[in-house]
Structure 1
Amino acid sequence: MSTYVKNTSNASLTVRPLGAALGAEVLGIDMRRKLDQETMRLLNDIWMEHLVLVFPNQHITDLEHVEFTRNFGEPEIFHQDIIRSKSVREIFRVSNVDENNVLMPLSHPTARQVSLAQFWHTDSSYRAIPCTGSLLHGIEVSRTGGETQFTNMYAVYEALPERLKLEVAGRRALHDFEFLQKQNSLRPLTDEERAAMPPVWQPLVRIHPGSGRKSLYISPIYNEEIEGMPSDAGRRLIAELTEFSGQPQFVYSHRWETDDVVLWDNRCTMHQVTKFDADERRVMHRTTIVGDAAVVAA
């Protein structure tokens, strides 16, 4: 698909598709300004079509980032102090630089947890009502890697071999934030953190509330087991589904430029970050849009 233009009475949006599977760049949005309803409806339609939108040259503050997020819904407040911004609590700091502007060694607990974004996942799947989407602002971007890869889970589900479709049909996976900690020897959760995010069962195949389409719904860094299967067999199935999902025909890989903001739909995509030099600063600030309904099984 080639570049196209969509107009409203107050805006002209230029849309440039970025990959065959998903992703588009959108010009004509200034995130420092609130969107009118007509433009918001158009932007949402473009988002639903392309799943991942890139807005370049957005010179925004954290407060402007949060305010723009409210066009889509309320921002989540992350349940751990370790990554949540101390100055703007809606900001999730995907950063290897601390709030005193000091590069953290890879052994630092926060840097270790942030580095686990280098594995496929979808945000907030461990909540009873998961988020709808996320917006990530590239403040200091990497040149030694650090691309964000997105995979189209509609297309993944549609392409699953019949054997795997039968395996996932009617089943649920356990999504447990603490599984991330246990698998990677991270700092144990506090009692308060554990109580805030108890494990939840989510269907392996979900219906998107906007499009009505089916997608595979896994988040491998949080998936401890699959309902009705021995633990080892369940984890093998998750590993097989993850490998299948990461095939190039399903993936768009975004190479960041400073002040890119990327919006993605967590209900029908997964994402991961490619490796980069741990001595290179990478400062990314994310907001996450509160979900409005529990996951609906296909």
Structure 2
Amino acid sequence: MKFLIYLIAYPILWIVSKLPFSVFYIVSDFFYILLYRIIGYRKKTVRENIKLAMPELSDTEVKRIERESFRHLCDIFLEMIKTFTISEKELKKRFVFTNLDTVLNIEKDNKSIMLFCAHYANWEWTIILDRLIQSQGYAVYKKINNPYFDQLFIKIRSRFNTILVEIKDTIRLIRKNETENKHGVYAFISDQSPMISQTNCWQEFMGVEVPIYTGGEALCKKFNMVPMYLDVKFIKRGHYEATFVPLLKEGENVKEVPNYELMTRFLKETEQTIRKAPAYYFWTHKRWKHRGNKPANIK
């Protein structure tokens, strides 16, 4: 059945990816009407998340952000499909890094970068970074249940030289690379909601205490990497700007930073990004589902 679904979906995805952008976003608008107006996919979750994270907003403001976020959600999904066939030249024009020299200078110092990312704007198109730097880029990801779609999305996301690595294989890969003096840029989507049993740290995110992943920080400190936050800004439909934001203070040694402090800084940067333009955050994700369930043995 999984293979049958894949066989049916593959040609449709390919055709959609080949559409000119003028038509492409008309298709996205259709999916927006279907998803938001007719099906109401996770509409309640989105509304609750926005109200929980920004209780100061009026109902009118919440509904506006809700509508815009669903429209953008459809754009993101189709833009991911567009990655199937988009040219390098076109993607470089649509996803621009404002301070690429920051990464290039770190490369000159022969250091690896731990790039903390959020589910904001279009995180998928970050893969074009590999065409602009000397180091190898890696994207840490979670395997998709359907093995055929899993391989397809690996293929799509690897088009511009990014190497995808499963979470369980990350530490082994980094250790091997550092032993062989191969430096890289490791991108972690770090605003997910982990299982309570798999975390020992809770912090406030958008004013709500939640469990957080700390694996990226631990690896960063263990292998003496440079921690950076990727601040992605929505410019207009299909166009984004990304800025590298250092998570270390001047003269600070990453190994001496108190435990979980890097995650605190990442979450603060992410909050600032969201509050400036909340419609482009991935509100359908149940980021706050564990609130109020903090184990008694966790400080």
**TM-score normalized by structure 1?**
0.30
Of structures 1 and 2, the larger Rg is shown by: 2
Q: Hey, which of these two has a bigger chunk of helix by percent? A: 2
**TM-score normalized by structure 2?**
0.30
Q: Hey, which of these two has a bigger chunk of strand by percent? A: 1
Instruction: Give the number of the structure with larger relative contact order, counting CA–CA contacts within 8 Å between residues 6 or more apart.
Output: 1
